[in-house]
Chain A
Amino acid sequence: MKLILSLFLAALLGACASPQLRGTGDLGLIIERASGQVTLVDTSARQPYARIAGLGDLSHASAVYSRDGRYAYVFGRDGGLTKVDMLEARIVKRVIQAGNAIGGSISQDGRLVVAQNYTPGGIKAFDAETLELLSEVPAEYAPGQFSKVVGLADSPGNKFAYALFEAGEIWVSDFSDPRKPTTQRYPAGNQPYDGLVTPDGRYFLAGLFGEDGVALLDLWQPEKGSRKILENYGRGEEKLPVFKMPHLRGWTVAQGKIYLPAVGRHEVLIVDVNTWREVGRIPVRGQPVFVMARPDGRQVWVNFAFPDNAKMDVIDTLAGKVAHTFEPGKGILHMEFTPRGEHIWLSARDDNKVLIYDTASFAKLGEIAADSPSGIFFTTRAARIGF
């Protein structure tokens, strides 16, 4: 019987010259913002393996992954939501779900993909399998007034937390019943620009642009309401101009501390997650955009807004200061660590390259050609809360 089975299998394999089996844990995609393409990459081989076109306007695009890491959901600026099969390297499904979108998130159970939109302001939930629209929550904060939505992040219980730029509020929508979400509202402050859920899923933070401070909501005890931390971190000094909005996500958390970009100051602010007090600040060489911890939390890598976007600073969290500075390329827009952080991939938009560095020696390991690369997203995001 065994023999017959193996003969059968051999015949089957021979007959269809079937592709080699492989997992998805070391795959990823690179957004090519100007040409509506994504390049699929293998982070073990450090090589691209496919390129897919036809994803629309990908300026400010981002991606989340199905929990098996097989499918990427790419959110485009033009409201396009594209489901990409990472193994077959093809578009499975594509819908235009809004006029102007900014990103999205996937639910704890992996069954809902939620897009956050500027126009019309609000969020929309889709069936992750079919991309069928299940429900939406318009960000109508006052009669007839809609807000842009920023900072959408998943949290346990199929809940999504997000902030409303014009409304100055944090909303938490519960999609336990995907077709009938319920929403709670909390005050945030002036012009929240982005948000994050801590890696344990407990806290939602909304960074504020219009005032010095960060709004904080304990999702375990939402009835206690939101509060403000880091109030007046600018100490009343005049802000430096900000030529690009900073970004927040759970990767700002390292070793029990959150490393936050200061707005209008060339500093990274450090907050203790237990006390929510500022415990330090680190001067850096520009307006921080991404302040991203290596998965082990020993390093925090920082890139900068125009005109300092050729620079990178690396903070050593043990020493509490910048330990390495370099200029890897022109227009460094984004970065992503390999699953356990031994390498980092950097997109150099104006060099049309993605650069790969060793995070211990800071040696350059290689590069990949890409057309105006921006976001880099690896499948390890699939298993992380708040991504």
Chain B
Amino acid sequence: MKLLLANRFLPLLLLAATAAWAGEPEAARQKELVHLVRQDCGSCHGMTLRGGLGPALLPETLRDKPAEGLVATIYYGRPGTPMPPWKQFLSEAEATWIVEKLMSEFPQ
């Protein structure tokens, strides 16, 4: 019975989990992601995200760009440019969270 229930609800649970995940990584993970963006993405985009060898990642510079494209750039990189793929270090949901934060206000 337990198994049956789990099976029946598994897709639903997964869906709920994904939604929650996409919205908000856990607090500790958020901290890691912020550190990653500011310090390691920052080596090209600037710690204050005002740009460097890579373009600025401020809300006003990203405003006109579709979010999905930005998520894909983080996740898969951009061939022909120095932007590497970050997929081995974060999930697509986490990349989505980063883009959301970049487009509104990125935490310190």
Q: A interface vs B, CB < 8 Å?
A: 33-34, 57, 59-60, 77-78, 100, 102, 118-119, 148, 150, 165, 191, 193, 209-210, 241-245, 306-307, 331, 349-350, 372
Contact = CB atoms under 8 A, between A and B. Distances in A.
7 contacts: A59-B43, A59-B48, A60-B46, A60-B52, A148-B53, A193-B53, A331-B39
A309 B18 CA distance: 31
Given A244-B43, A245-B44, A118 B52 contact: yes
Nearest to B49: A59
The winner among B42, B48, B77, B84 for most chain A CB atoms within 10 A is: B84
Nearest to A77: B46
B77 A60 contact: no
Given A102-B52, A165-B53, A209 B82 contact: yes
A60 B52 CA distance: 9
The A interface is mostly helix, strand or loop, or mixed, namely loop
Interface string B21-51: 0000000000000010001101110111011
Nearest to A264: B84
Given A331-B39, A349-B39, A242 B48 contact: no
B85 interface: yes
A100 B51 contact: yes
A382 to B, nearest CB: 27
A59 B44 CA distance: 10
Contacts of A372: 39
Given A241-B77, A243-B40, A33 B53 contact: no
Nearest to B56: A100
Nearest to A244: B43
Contacts of A77: 46-48, 50, 52
Contacts of A242: 82, 84
Interface residues of B, number: 19
A118 B43 CA distance: 14
Given A191-B82, A209-B82, A307-B89, A244 B50 contact: no
Nearest to B89: A307
Contact of A59 (B35, B42, B85): B42
Contacts of B44: 244-245
A33 B47 CA distance: 9
Contacts of B47: 33-34, 57, 59-60, 77
Contacts of B35: 350
Contacts of A210: 80
A60 B51 CA distance: 11
A157 to B, nearest CB: 29
Ranked nearest first, the 5 interchain pairs of A and B with the lowest CB-CB distance are A59-B47, A241-B84, A306-B40, A244-B43, A57-B48
A234 to B, nearest CB: 15
A33 B43 CA distance: 11
The winner among A33, A77, A193, A307 for most chain B CB atoms within 10 A is: A77
A33 B48 CA distance: 11
Interface in B46-85: 46-48, 50-53, 77, 80, 82, 84-85
A189 to B, nearest CB: 15
Nearest to B47: A59
